[in-house]
């Protein structure tokens, strides 16, 4: 609605002033009776004599709220408004600012000025391609930044050190430079899938300083497991990439993983011993790959409960592929194994293969039909 500011000229009422867009933006300022404290115009053309004192008749209305937004209990909800810029008039005590589904193209230096209490900033589904290096610097308490579905070609620099969660899915990021996350000691979750990221896009030290629990780089262009991700990860999701193999050294660093998502890749080979690096693994998704046999090492993963292997090229299942051989070996029961969508003749699989599975319903073992 404010896009038609081009070619404006101020009516020279008292004197010709240079055009100040700031004033135009500010003019819906709505924080009290309209009489300015500083009556600059008192001696100008506006007859201020005779203007009543409004304190007694105008109800005080202190809440700032951009026109069209809904502001309630420190939440400023401005989604779906067709906004082309971050609106002004955002109350400084705002905790959540929702600007999703607009047409914002750029974040300027002062767009979030004064929003020291902002806890969550939602910018999903705009057209943001430019972020000023200082745009986020006023956000001293920002914990969640959701900026997925934009046109960013790089991760914005100088993210607030208080940030805990960054969602930057579905942008145009090709590169994660060294040190980009430096100082983000509170961050525990990054979702950066849906970007055209190749393995070479991660500079050495890209994740230095991060103690992430959760990382998702799905729907990217990875051909292998990145080697330099935080060793603190409990969950790593790399599904829908082009990973072809898992080699011995690929997983050594990630010994804290409880969940590993590798579905929808092109994995043909998992090197013997590589899974042994993951003693805490509880859930492993390898569905929709090109495996020709059950990956080696599953019986040794003592906490593993869920394995997805459906939609691979597995032709046979050995009696010791899942469960330890001896009775003395302690192991959690599986409560989920999927094997359907593989060319394995199920009548050839010995029932004892699944001796450490909770119950028969925990097993999905479809017939192979071509």
Residues 317 to 346 in contact with a second copy, rule: CB under 8 A: 327-328, 330-336, 338, 340-341, 346
Question: For residue 100, what is the DSSP state?
Answer: -
Asked if residues 227 and 253 have their Cβ atoms less than 8 Å apart, the reply is yes
40 counts as binding a second copy under rule CB under 8 A: yes
Would you put residue 222 in left (φ > 0), alpha (ψ -120 to 50) or beta?
Answer: beta
Minimum CB distance to a second copy, residue 365 (Å): 4
Residues 6+ positions from 175 with CB-CB distance below 8 Å: 154, 197, 201, 203
With CB under 8 A as the contact rule, the residue among 173, 310, 314, 321 that binds a second copy is: 310
In 87-101, which positions are buried (b, 16+ CB within 10 angstroms) versus exposed (e)?
Answer: bbbbbeebbbbbbbb
266 binds a second copy per the rule CB under 8 A: no
Residues 193-252 that bind a second copy (CB under 8 A): 193-194, 214, 216, 235, 237, 239-240
For a second copy, the closer of residues 104 and 138 by Cβ is 104
Interaction residues for a second copy, span 112-171 (CB under 8 A): 124-125, 148-149, 165, 167, 169-170
DSSP E strands, 172-279:
189-191, 214-216, 235-237, 245-246, 259-261, 269-270
Q: Which of 101, 199, 242, 316 binds a second copy (CB under 8 A)?
A: 101
Pick out residues in 47-86 that bind a second copy (CB under 8 A). Answer: 47, 50-52, 54, 57-59, 61, 67-68, 70, 72, 77, 79-80, 82
**Using the rule CB under 8 A, is 29 a contact of a second copy?**
yes
CB 133, min distance to a second copy, A: 26
Q: Measured from the CB atom, is 55 or 249 closer to a second copy?
A: 55
Nearer to a second copy, 29 or 151 (CB): 29
Report the residue from 8, 43, 204, 325 that binds a second copy according to the rule CB under 8 A: 8
Among 112, 207, 322, 354, interactor with a second copy by CB under 8 A: 354
Do residues 76 and 91 make contact, with C-beta atoms less than 8 angstroms apart? Answer: yes
Q: Pick from 106, 203, 247, 283: which binds a second copy (CB under 8 A)?
A: 283
Q: Six-digit token pair at 369? A: 């039909």
Report yes or no: 243 and 267 within 8 Å, Cβ to Cβ. Answer: yes
Identify any residues that bridge with 166 across adjacent strands, giving them in sequence order: 145, 190
Is residue 37 a contact point for a second copy (CB under 8 A)?
no
232 alpha-carbon distance from chain centroid = 18
Q: Which is nearer to a second copy, 138 or 342 (CB)?
A: 342
CA 354-356-360 angle, 5° bins: 55
Q: Which is nearer to a second copy, 58 or 248 (CB)?
A: 58
Which lies closer to a second copy via its Cβ, residue 7 or residue 204?
Answer: 7
Instruction: Check: CB of residue 328 under 8 Å from CB of residue 299.
Output: no
Is 287 near a second copy (CB under 8 A)? yes
Task: Quote the least distance from Cβ 178 to a second copy, whole Å.
Answer: 25
Q: How far apart are CA 149 and CA 109, in angstroms?
A: 21
In terms of DSSP bridges, do strands 259-261 and 283-285 run parallel, antiparallel, or are they unpaired? parallel
What's the min distance (Å) between Cβ of 218 and a second copy?
A: 8
**Binder of a second copy out of 150, 171, 289, 305 (CB under 8 A):** 305
Place of tokens 């867009």: 21
How many Cα atoms within 13 Å fall on the side-chain side of residue 189?
A: 10
4/204 with CB nearer a second copy? 4
The answer to the question of residue 88 lying near a second copy (CB under 8 A) is no
């Amino acid at each position: 609605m404010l896009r038609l500011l081009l070619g404006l000229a101020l009516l020279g009422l008292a004197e010709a002033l240079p055009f100040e867009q700031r004033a135009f933006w500010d003019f819906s300022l709505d924080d009290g009776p309209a009489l300015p404290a500083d009556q600059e115009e008192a001696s100008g053309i506006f007859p201020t004599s005779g203007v009543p004192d409004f304190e007694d008749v105008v109800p005080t209305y202190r809440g700032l709220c951009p026109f069209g937004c809904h502001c309630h209990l420190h939440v400023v909800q401005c989604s779906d408004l067709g906004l082309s810029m971050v609106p002004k008039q955002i109350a400084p005590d705002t905790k959540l600012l929702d600007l999703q589904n607009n047409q914002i193209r750029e974040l300027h230096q002062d767009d979030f000025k004064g929003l020291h209490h902002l806890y969550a900033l939602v910018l999903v589904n705009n057209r943001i391609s430019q972020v000023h290096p200082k745009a986020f610097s006023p956000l001293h308490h920002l914990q969640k930044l959701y900026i997925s579905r934009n046109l960013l070609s790089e991760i914005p620099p100088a993210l607030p050190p208080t940030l805990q969660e960054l969602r930057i899915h579905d942008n145009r990021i090709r590169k994660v430079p060294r040190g980009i996350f430096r100082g983000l000691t509170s961050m525990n979750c990054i979702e950066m899938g849906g970007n055209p990221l190749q393995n070479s896009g991660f500079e050495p030290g890209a994740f230095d300083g991060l103690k992430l629990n959760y990382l998702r780089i799905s729907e990217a262009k990875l051909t292998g497991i990145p080697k330099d991700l935080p060793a603190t990860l409990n969950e790593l999701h790399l599904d829908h990439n082009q990973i072809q193999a898992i080699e011995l050294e690929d997983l050594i660093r990630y010994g804290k993983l409880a969940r590993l998502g590798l579905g929808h890749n092109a994995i043909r080979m998992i090197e013997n011993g590589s899974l042994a690096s993951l003693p805490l693994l509880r859930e492993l998704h390898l569905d929709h790959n090109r495996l020709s046999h059950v990956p080696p090492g599953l019986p040794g993963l003592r906490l593993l409960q869920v394995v997805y292997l459906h939609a691979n090229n597995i032709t046979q299942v050995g009696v010791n592929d899942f469960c330890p051989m001896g009775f003395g070996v302690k192991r959690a029961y599986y409560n989920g194994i999927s094997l359907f969508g593989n060319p394995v003749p199920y009548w050839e699989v010995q029932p004892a293969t699944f001796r450490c599975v909770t119950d028969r319903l925990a097993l999905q073992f479809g017939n192979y039909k071509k």
